[in-house]
Amino acid sequence: MSFTNETDKQKYYIEKCRELIAAKEQKLGRKLTACVVTFGCQMNFKDSEKLMGILSQIGYQETDDEHADLVLYNTCTVRENANLKIYGRLGYLSKIKEKNPEMIIGLCGCMMQEPQVVEKLNKSYRFVDIIFGTHNVFQLAELLYDRLIGGHRIEDIWDGTTEIVEDLPTIRKYDFKSGVNIMYGCNNFCSYCIVPYVRGRERSRNPEDIVKEVEELVSNGVVEVMLLGQNVNSYGKTLDNPISFAKLLEMVEQVEGLERIRFMTSHPKDLSDELIEVMAKSKKICKQMHLPLQSGSSRLLKIMNRHYDKEQYLTLVDKLRAAIPDIGISTDIIVGFPGETDEDFEETLDVVRKARYDSAFTFIYSKRSGTPAATMPDQVPEDVVKERFDRLLNLVNEISREKTKHLEGTVQSVLVEELNKKIPGYVTGRLSNNSVVHFEGCKELIGKIVDVNLKEAKGFYYMGEMVK
Ligand code: 5AD
Ligand code: SF4
């Protein structure tokens, strides 16, 4: 067969798999089920929606139960414990497969891009049927077809790609909100981070394709989009017709019917004044900024290859808060980077106190082989890291709690996301600044934007009351 483009090729394999699965269903006298489990970040979550979209077109019914006919783990490898989790869960899956030998187990995502992982899987995890990486997610139907007709294990991992395959099916977890990839990969090579090695070089999608996708989403009921990229602030630089991220936001803002725009992640080194201006005057861009700090020590930031220092970072935070009152700022911080001294760590605490984050994700440094930091001297002893980590967490929590108080008693517009998991008759929604509020309401409110009085700040969330 010859195809004019990759999308047509994959649609062909979806059809071929459909026939094979339909025949299996006939034989078994029941529908076949598929379960996609996502580990890691929003990017993986979005990839999983694409994977499930392909599987559902093939004829699989979606399930959360890992006793399914096909189970696919979309893996993460940003920290070592993410990998350990996968090996543990594979042990559990092998037990299920012993009872259902026809079951197909697939692994994909970031962890598969590491050669030593694949080596280990080849040696000790032979029951895995399909292995692929981050660059060929769109190929799932083709790989599954090869497995179904060949009967042998399929392994297809690409080193990199320049290709962006548009227009394949996806199944969205939520009807009213969706992630939208605007770029893939990362060119920054922060010295601790494995992402550039497993996700490849930065590639931006064409703005027209992005806007078209958003328009389609909105016509299907989506009111909030999250524009996704490892470093959205450098969006568009490598396109044939370069365009800034701020300009892309202005284009997306034009989409009629769209109510809210979020994005992540922003790299401080590329955050422009133009972006802050566009955010300040926008009616749709949420008052939220995720701005990873990593460390407050200018000395360490240099070794981390972050290209900004403590003062530049704090200036950015000041600018954001001045231009966009009530903006919610969140961050990522790593504790225990090689060579981190008490003084370095105090600098981090100092930035946390000054930036007054609304929320912060704190991580213990994890050595990722192949990254420059893995071989740096002076890896910090575990007990020192633990003590610093606890101090940081206490400070971060104390500030988040104080910050939540600021909006207590005000009325804010809230996108209702789901039924409350704990209190019957309640729903849970999000403010523009990404804070969560619980209030009395019914499932018909899900996906609607309503006004809510934030009656009581409860530390990291609010209890509210809908304003009629
Ligand atoms: N160890 C700990 N945390 C890491 N991150 C990235 N690499 C590592 C690592 N090796 C964190 C960074 C990043 C977030 C997604 O994960 O803080 O912003
Ligand atoms: Fe990793 Fe740095 Fe790229 Fe973020 S910007 S994915 S931390 S290398």
Atom of ligand 1 nearest to the CA of 294: 17
The pLDDT confidence band at residue 468, using thresholds 50, 70 and 90, is confident
Which tens digit of pLDDT belongs to each residue from 431-465? Answer: 999 999 999 999 999 999 999 999 999 988 999 99
What was the pLDDT predicted at 380?
94
Ligand 1 centroid – CA 10 distance (Å): 34
**Predicted confidence (pLDDT) at residue 129 exceeds the cutoff of 80:** yes
Which tens digit of pLDDT belongs to each residue from 78-92? Answer: 999 999 999 999 999
Question: What rounded mean pLDDT belongs to the chain?
Answer: 95
**Predicted confidence (pLDDT) at residue 167 exceeds the cutoff of 80:** no
User: Beta strands 183-184 and 177-181: pairing type?
Assistant: unpaired
What was the pLDDT predicted at 1?
75
Atom of ligand 1 nearest to the CA of 367: 10
Task: Name the closest-CA residue to atom 9, ligand 1.
Answer: 366
What was the pLDDT predicted at 2?
82
* Closest to 184 (Cα-Cα) out of 118, 223, 247, 133: 133
What was the pLDDT predicted at 400?
95
Tokens of 108: 């994909």
Q: Is the CB–ligand 1 distance for residue 332 below 6 Å?
A: yes
Start-to-end Cα distance in the chain: 60
Among the bound ligands, the one closest to the CA of 195: 2
Least confident of 65-79, 156-170, 235-249: 156-170
The pLDDT confidence band at residue 169, using thresholds 50, 70 and 90, is confident
**Predicted confidence (pLDDT) at residue 176 exceeds the cutoff of 90:** yes
Element spanning 42, H or E: helix 42-58
Distances (CA, A) of 31 to 59, 68, 114, 148, 224: 8, 11, 35, 17, 33
Domains and CATH numbers, the chain: 4-154 (3.40.50.280), 175-261 (3.30.750.210), 286-405 (3.30.750.200), 408-464 (2.40.50.140)
Instruction: Give mean pLDDT, residues 266-280.
Output: 97
Q: Is the CB–ligand 1 distance for residue 373 below 6 Å?
A: no
Q: Is the CB–ligand 1 distance for residue 193 below 6 Å?
A: yes
Which tens digit of pLDDT belongs to each residue from 377-400? Answer: 988 999 999 999 999 999 999 999
- CA 335, CA 330: separation in Å to the nearest integer? 16
**Predicted confidence (pLDDT) at residue 161 exceeds the cutoff of 80:** no
Q: Is the CB–ligand 1 distance for residue 43 below 6 Å?
A: no
What was the pLDDT predicted at 101?
87
The pLDDT confidence band at residue 166, using thresholds 50, 70 and 90, is confident
Q: Is the CB–ligand 1 distance for residue 253 below 6 Å?
A: no
What was the pLDDT predicted at 151?
80
What burial letters (b/e) apply to 210-225, b meaning 16+ CB within 10 Å?
bbebbbebbeeebbbb
Atom of ligand 2 nearest to the CA of 332: 7
**Predicted confidence (pLDDT) at residue 152 exceeds the cutoff of 90:** no
Q: Is the CB–ligand 2 distance for residue 190 below 6 Å?
A: yes
**Predicted confidence (pLDDT) at residue 181 exceeds the cutoff of 80:** yes
Phi, psi of 294, rounded to the nearest 5 degrees: 75, -55
